[in-house]
Amino acid sequence: MQTSMLGVGVFLAAGLAHAAEPVRDVVSSAADREAVAVTVYNDDLALVKERRKVDLASGLNRLSLREVAAQMRPETALLRAVSGQPLGLVEQNFDFDLLTPQKLLEKYVGREVTVIRPHPTNDSEKRERATVLAAGQAGLPNVVLRFADRIETGVPGRLAFDSVPPNLRDRPTLSVLLEAGGGKQAVELSYLTSGLSWKADYVANLSTDGKSLDLNGWVTLTNRSGAGFDNTTLQLVAGTVNRVRQPAPQLAYAMAAPAPRAKGMEATQEALMDYHLYSFERPTSIADNQTKQLALLSASAVPVRREYLLAGNEYYYRDRYAQIGQKLKPAVFLEFENKGAQLGKPLPAGIVRVYARDSKGAAQFVGEDRIEHTAKNEKLKLRLGEAFDITAERKQTSYRKVADNLSESSWRIDLRNAKDEAVVVRVQEPMPGDWEMAQESQKHSKESARVASWNVAVPAAGTTVLEYSVRVKW
């Protein structure tokens, strides 16, 4: 027991001695930054690393690192010495209560201010001290002031404050209490922050014959973190990183495609565990409240194939129908492979906007689709819309219920093509339960256990009929 009490006494004595030690205040602004690196993830998250040159005293210092991101997650902040003696961190505070007229007034509730009023008949001013009783919610008209002989609201004139409270900052500030050996040294601050996000946008230009395309990829970067980063080394991580957090709404911003750029400005990529890391060799500046675009990739003459798809539904085969649909429109898809010398690299998820040239050579928008993260050598399939000149009519020509869980139905699909060239339409039919093709005018292919499909050739300005009968058991 005596040993325990003695230990507590020594600890308290050391703590009191530590508390009595003088603390030097050191302020570091963005001008002290020697280098900045920002790694941005897809989902409103970024890792910021910055190196600053600071002049610390020997002993205790309160280092105020100004102009950090206002949406910093302070529990992730890490400060370490890059040069000089190691730092001994004691505590840290993140001050994000920023200076505004309303905030300043709120901090002065219960304190005195100077009320300055213009004289009604000349250019002089009258000054009077008053205590702020209430700051209100909308500025000066709702202020309640107690003067020496009265209480007033809606005071005309100006309020003068003696000073700015120490916990009210004009910039987001990370305040760190630390022990240092003294002298000028470089320190590195790293932290995670919200408010920085990126997405990929692609522009695909089809060739005149529609058999190839030129693909340009852009990174759209949005900074709403509350801090700007000049001359920054930028990296992007593509992939879904698990995070423990509350869901928050996000805003999306669309931008028009920029002008063509030099290939030397494109990003390089490498594998990072199960993600992909994209790095930009040229430093860039990311201002607060800014959306900018950076070149990601460029590929030309990528072979592409057009596909027309007419898809059915499982419920067609469970009952009797008079007419399924007239003037059905096949969907139009573009398909190409992520391979080759110019492409052949991991593509981040994003929206691909496709343009085709008209008879005068002008590019016209013909559709867009979203792609997921796509590895190299994988196929990409873009749905552009519905075919205008290709129509279909689907009829159930017979239906027979063989047993409670067995039926047989027959179908006729008329495919009409008003184009000046022949096309191939893929008819894709999802089948419920166990199924067997009893009869068909063209041979089907079994895409999976639940899907039958036909590649039906339709001549220019012509019609082709597909007929089949199927037995379904469920």
pLDDT digits (tens, 9 = 90+) for 342-391: 888 888 889 999 999 988 889 999 999 999 988 889 999 999 999 999 99
Q: What is residue 239's predicted lDDT score, i.e. its pLDDT?
A: 67
**26 and 87 co-located in one domain:** yes
Tokens of 76: 């992730």
Over range 410-439, report the average pLDDT. 94
Smallest Cα–Cα separation from 238: which of 169, 307, 296, 170? 296
**262 and 406 co-located in one domain:** no
Beta-carbon contacts of 221 under 8 Å, excluding residues fewer than 6 positions away, are 40, 196, 197, 198, 234, 286, 291, 292, 293, 294
For residues 181 and 171, what is the distance between their CA atoms, to the nearest angstrom? 28
Q: What is residue 329's predicted lDDT score, i.e. its pLDDT?
A: 94
Q: What is residue 466's predicted lDDT score, i.e. its pLDDT?
A: 97
Over range 156-175, report the average pLDDT. 78
Q: What is residue 108's predicted lDDT score, i.e. its pLDDT?
A: 83
**214 and 276 co-located in one domain:** yes
Question: What total number of domains does the chain contain?
Answer: 4
Q: Which domain holds residue 424?
A: 305-330+387-473
| Residue 350 belongs to a domain | yes
pLDDT digits (tens, 9 = 90+) for 429-448: 999 889 999 999 999 999 99
Query: What percent of the chain has a predicted confidence (pLDDT) above 70?
Result: 85
Query: What percent of the chain has a predicted confidence (pLDDT) above 90?
Result: 48
**91 and 199 co-located in one domain:** no
Q: How confident is the model at residue 253 (pLDDT cuts 50, 70, 90)?
A: very low
Q: Which residue has the higher pLDDT, 172 or 66?
A: 66
| Residue 1 belongs to a domain | no
| Residue 92 belongs to a domain | yes
| Residue 4 belongs to a domain | no
**313 and 182 co-located in one domain:** no
Q: What is residue 403's predicted lDDT score, i.e. its pLDDT?
A: 87
Please tell me the least confidently modeled range out of 95-99, 207-211, 361-365. Answer: 95-99
**108 and 83 co-located in one domain:** no
**34 and 75 co-located in one domain:** yes
Q: How confident is the model at residue 414 (pLDDT cuts 50, 70, 90)?
A: very high
Tokens of 139: 């500025």
| Residue 9 belongs to a domain | no
| Residue 224 burial (CB count, 10 A) | 19
Q: What is residue 243's predicted lDDT score, i.e. its pLDDT?
A: 57
Q: How confident is the model at residue 99 (pLDDT cuts 50, 70, 90)?
A: low
**325 and 423 co-located in one domain:** yes
Beta-carbon contacts of 11 under 8 Å, excluding residues fewer than 6 positions away, are none
**351 and 416 co-located in one domain:** no
Q: Which residue has the higher pLDDT, 233 or 274?
A: 233
Q: What is residue 260's predicted lDDT score, i.e. its pLDDT?
A: 40
Mean pLDDT taken over the chain: 84
- According to DSSP, residue 16 is labeled H
Over range 324-343, report the average pLDDT. 89
Q: What is residue 262's predicted lDDT score, i.e. its pLDDT?
A: 39
Please tell me the least confidently modeled range out of 91-105, 241-255, 397-411. Answer: 241-255
| Residue 8 belongs to a domain | no
